Every structure is written in C-alpha cells, then in structure tokens.
C-alpha cells in the first residue's frame, strides 16, 4: 500500500513524524508537506507563483517539502508518486472539529486526495504535543489505522483524538453557530493588530464530533465533497420548476 503523508503544520512538525512512524507498519510511506506552517489555510491552491519540491530531512523517511499549501503538497505528491492508495493528513497540533473543517488545512489535504479519487483521512489531536503525548497516543493511532486502512470502506474521513481516548465513536459534523470574534490588540510599536477566533456559541449536540471529544472518545466523521443542500434543491425545483424560461 502506498501511503502519502501530508499536514498543515509543516514538514518538521512532531505530528507528521508521529503519523509516519505508525503508518509505516501498514505500507510504503512518503512525506510531502509544506515547508512552513499552513494552518487554517483551508483548501487553497497556489497558482500565481511556481512551486518547488525539495528533499527534506525527516528521520529516515522519504520526505519532501513544498513552498505551498497542504492541497498543493497532495497534488505534487501524487504527481511525483504514481498510484498512491491513501493520503493521510496530520497529525495536526490542535483539533479540527465542527466549523473548523471549513478552514482546516489538515482536512484540505485529505479533501484534495478525495478530489483526485484517492481515499483521504485527516488526523488531529487535542492535547499536548510533546514526544510523550504522541507515544501515549501511538496504540490508539494503530487501532484507528488498522480499522480505516484495512477494514472499512469510505472515501473521506475526519478523525480527532482526545488526550486520553476511551474508545472510538462514529460521528457527524457539529455545525452550530460560532462567534467568529476578532480580538484587537497592538504590536510593540503600538500599531493595531487582530486575531481571528472560532469559539463555539452553543454546547455540542449528541452524536457530533465535538460531543465525542468532550466525552473522551476518538471522533471519526465520514465526509463527502458534494456541498449541495439536497432538500433545499428539491423544494426549490418543486416551487419554481427547473429550466424555467425567464424571457
Ligand atoms: Mn495545523
């Protein structure tokens, strides 16, 4: 099995190394990741400047760094390595739950794989990010990889790990309202600066990714690329007909 590994925290993140260490027990691993952090860049692709694909030193892994986004890395990774079976993205240093899926670079790596017709799986961790945190998580990552690489059928998965997992829960995405507050501050030269936040306004509902993590479970959410609101589409067609002539 050819396993391409990407992330959005950069090729030297301890999270991508931790994922590659576990994944190598399941197949042939190659790392292709951004040269610098690209968190919260979503599914951006670079088309206004050229990209470079350079060898990177990540332990004894076959690793490359790209001066682009996670989606760029998957595109270049699959260009240089034929017949990739699965793309794993992460392990992100921080959760990607609920509304975060809209701006997550980690999930975008998995989505880009899905767009190319390859299975994509995003991994994120809500915990400390020291070596011992990843060591503690290793058996849980193994258990999840065993299931998602060898047992189940799906196209795109978003997986989040709590600090000390009690088990695995299949979940849906929590899309309750967020405040999207902008925090204003100033830099050392007294110039205004701003931080964007994504704090949830409402508690998580049962059956969702956020709820599973709050309860101490690994959350696995199967996703799809089709954003169409099928119920709205149906009611709009019923109300107004389709292919109406406006002349
Ligand atoms: Mn990140």
Q: What is the pLDDT averaged over residues 181-186?
A: 94
Q: How confident is the model at residue 241 (pLDDT cuts 50, 70, 90)?
A: confident
The Å distance, Cα 84 to ligand 1 centre, comes to 23
- For residue 186, being part of any structural domain is answered with no
The Å distance, Cα 48 to ligand 1 centre, comes to 23
- For residue 245, being part of any structural domain is answered with no
Contact between 6 and 109 (Cβ < 8 Å):
yes
- For residue 193, being part of any structural domain is answered with no
Side-chain-facing half-sphere of 74: CA atoms under 13 Å: 33
For residues 78 and 101, give the distance between their C-alpha atoms in angstroms, rounded to a whole number: 23
Q: What is the pLDDT averaged over residues 67-82?
A: 98
pTM: 0.94
The CATH number of the domain holding residue 127 is 3.40.1210.10
**14-23 helix and 131-150 helix, angle to the nearest 10 degrees:** 40
The domain of 67 spans 2-174+204-240
DSSP 8-state secondary structure symbol assigned to residue 79: H
- For residue 50, being part of any structural domain is answered with yes
The Å distance, Cα 142 to ligand 1 centre, comes to 21
Side-chain-facing half-sphere of 57: CA atoms under 13 Å: 0
**Which residues, in sequence order, are CB contacts of 59 under 8 Å at separation 6+?**
17, 20
Give the pLDDT confidence of 157-182 residue by residue, as tens digits.
999 999 999 999 999 999 887 877 89
- For residue 190, being part of any structural domain is answered with no
The Å distance, Cα 105 to ligand 1 centre, comes to 7
The count of structural domains within the chain is 1
Structure tokens at 58: 């990540």
- Lowest-pLDDT range of 35-44, 108-117, 146-155, 214-223: 146-155
The Å distance, Cα 116 to ligand 1 centre, comes to 22
- For residue 181, being part of any structural domain is answered with no
**70-80 helix and 105-115 helix, angle to the nearest 10 degrees:** 40
- For residue 195, being part of any structural domain is answered with no
CA dihedral 92, 95, 96, 99 (to 10 degrees): -150
- For residue 199, being part of any structural domain is answered with no
**Residues within 5 A (CB) of ion ligand 1:** 8-9, 39, 92
């Amino acid at each position: 099995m050819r396993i391409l590994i990407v992330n959005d925290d950069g090729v030297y993140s301890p999270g991508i190394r931790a994922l590659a260490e576990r994944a190598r027990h399941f197949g042939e691993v190659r790392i292709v990741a951004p040269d610098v952090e690209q968190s919260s860049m979503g599914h951006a692709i670079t088309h206004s400047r050229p990209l470079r694909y350079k060898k990177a030193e990540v332990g004894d892994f076959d690793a490359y760094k790209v001066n682009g986004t996670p989606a760029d890395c998957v595109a270049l990774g699959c260009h240089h390595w034929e017949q990739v079976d699965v793309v794993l993205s992460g392990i992100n240093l921080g959760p990607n739950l609920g509304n975060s899926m809209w701006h997550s670079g980690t999930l975008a790596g998995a989505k880009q794989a899905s767009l190319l017709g390859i299975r994509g799986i995003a991994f994120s961790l809500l915990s400390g990010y020291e070596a011992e945190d990843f060591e503690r998580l290793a058996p849980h990552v193994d258990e999840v990889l065993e299931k998602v690489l060898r047992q189940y059928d799906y196209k795109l998965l978003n997986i989040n790990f709590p600090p000390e997992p009690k088990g695995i829960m299949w979940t849906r995405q929590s899309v309750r309202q967020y405040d999207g507050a902008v925090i204003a501050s100033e830099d050392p030269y007294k110039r205004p600066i701003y931080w964007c936040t994504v704090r949830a306004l409402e508690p998580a509902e049962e059956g969702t990714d956020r709820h599973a993590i709050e309860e101490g479970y690994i959350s696995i959410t199967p996703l799809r690329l089709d954003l169409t609101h099928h119920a709205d589409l149906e009611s709009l067609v019923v109300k107004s007909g389709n292919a109406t002539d406006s002349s």
